[in-house]
Copies of this chain bind each other. A is one copy, B any other.
Amino acid sequence: MIVKRLEKNPILQPQDIPAYHDDHEVIGVFNAGVAEYKGETLLLLRVAERPIQTDADSVKTTVVDFSNDQPQVQVLTLEKTDENYDFSDPRTIMHKEKQRGTAYLTSLSYIRIARSTDGKNFTVDEEPFIYPGTSAESWGVEDPRVTQIQDTYYIQYSAISEKGVAVGLISTRDFVSYERLGLIFPPENKDVAILPEKINGKYYALHRPVPKGIGQPEIWIAESDNLVNWGNHKHLLGLSEDGWDNGRIGGGAVPFKTKEGWLEIYHAADKDDRYCLGAVLLDLNDPSKVIAKTFEPILSPEADYETHGFFGKVVFTCGVTLQDDLVRIYYGVSDTSMAICEMQVEDILSRLTYM
């Protein structure tokens, strides 16, 4: 597989982005959705901020409180000696009473736009674009995918609160104002990627439920007439028993059309949380049919910025652009920064094994 990583990778890092909140630091700018708008490439960056930690004996984190009329940014302080909590994961603070799961995230994410005329050099907006706006987003908004349908852009993102990780939908025509269309998938679900056109009269979305009792974190597909209401859910692609994709898999970029089928670049992690990218080909006329997949990754964490960071050994894409046969993959690295690599579509197709 010929993978051309940009020499200037990572293209955006936390130190490039001033914090939006007072007394906060940006600890991640990653997992960006991608849109092409008026000749520019837009990255819808997930920006993760946390309070500047001033005391080694406590952990501060930030949520948005919607319990009153006016949403309020709240900084919470948890003592590391508090026996109710487990602080061992850098991403989450867990209840020690295991049944209760996650108590808080360690950072608050929102979406900020970066703009480029060449697709490689980006200028970041000063203000957030999508900021938590409902009680279902009080712990943040994360990992957007952008699907363009005519002149409307539909943004699918993780909406996170103490009630769970759900999937929100927002539409915009100008990347300035937008309309909230509610939660399109209930918890626990993420990694939604809506296909960019109707196929035999239906829209399709990849999604990734995380069941608690029976089943695994795997890719499903659903249908819709209007992008807001979804049904006819079907299991699409599962884990392997061993190897790079035996832990969890989920949709990545918005699928794009090739002569062979809809090509989806997805992510998979093994049981040690090492995240790679793979490709799967879906039937052009019925994307609920998998016709081929790569049995080896098309991108693995190898460069230093892919293996080291806030949460190392992660490559994770939410979007690509296409120029003829060239696919440019925008991807988050180590839950910290953004990077770019390029591949030939033909090269990806040649790595597929037909089922």
| CB-contact partner of A228 in B163, B166, B182, B231, under 8 A | B231
A160 and B223 CA atoms in complex are apart in Å by 20
Q: State whether A188 touches B214 (Cβ < 8 A).
A: yes
On chain B, the residues within 8 Å of A207 by CB distance are 186
**A173 at interface, CB cutoff 8 A:** no
Most buried by B among A162, A182, A233: A233
A136 and B214 CA atoms in complex are apart in Å by 12
Most buried by B among A186, A217, A232: A186
Q: State whether A183 touches B101 (Cβ < 8 A).
A: no
Q: State whether B214 touches A162 (Cβ < 8 A).
A: yes
| CB-contact partner of A165 in B160, B210, B214, under 8 A | B214
**A53 at interface, CB cutoff 8 A:** no
**A197 at interface, CB cutoff 8 A:** no
**A330 at interface, CB cutoff 8 A:** no
Shortest Cβ gap from A211 to chain B (Å): 4
Shortest Cβ gap from A51 to chain B (Å): 20
On chain B, the residues within 8 Å of A100 by CB distance are 216
Q: Which of A112-138 contact B (CB under 8 A)?
A: 135-136
Q: State whether A230 touches B233 (Cβ < 8 A).
A: no
A139 and B163 CA atoms in complex are apart in Å by 29
Q: Copy number in this complex?
A: 2
Closest B residue by C-beta to A231: B229
Q: State whether A231 touches B184 (Cβ < 8 A).
A: yes
On chain B, the residues within 8 Å of A189 by CB distance are 186
Closest B residue by C-beta to A207: B186
Contact size range, A: 35 or more
Q: Which of A169-187 contact B (CB under 8 A)?
A: 181-187
Q: State whether A213 touches B102 (Cβ < 8 A).
A: yes
On chain B, the residues within 8 Å of A228 by CB distance are 231-232
Shortest Cβ gap from A64 to chain B (Å): 15
**A281 at interface, CB cutoff 8 A:** no
Closest B residue by C-beta to A166: B233
Shortest Cβ gap from A208 to chain B (Å): 9
On chain B, the residues within 8 Å of A166 by CB distance are 233
Shortest Cβ gap from A286 to chain B (Å): 14
| CB-contact partner of A211 in B182, B183, B184, B187, under 8 A | B187
Q: State whether B215 touches A101 (Cβ < 8 A).
A: yes
**A143 at interface, CB cutoff 8 A:** no
A235 and B160 CA atoms in complex are apart in Å by 12
Shortest Cβ gap from A335 to chain B (Å): 16
Q: State whether A188 touches B160 (Cβ < 8 A).
A: no
Chain A 212-229, CB-CB to B under 8 Å as 1, else 0, gives: 111111101011111011
Shortest Cβ gap from A169 to chain B (Å): 8
**A234 at interface, CB cutoff 8 A:** yes
Known pairs A211-B165, A211-B188, A235-B136; A229 contacts B224 (CB<8 A): yes
**A261 at interface, CB cutoff 8 A:** no
A139 and B230 CA atoms in complex are apart in Å by 24
A308 and B257 CA atoms in complex are apart in Å by 58
* A-B CB contact pairs (8 Å), 8 listed: A100-B216, A160-B214, A164-B209, A182-B231, A182-B232, A186-B207, A188-B188, A188-B215
Q: Which 8 A-B pairs have the closest CB atoms?
A: A164-B215, A188-B211, A229-B229, A182-B232, A229-B231, A187-B211, A183-B233, A186-B233
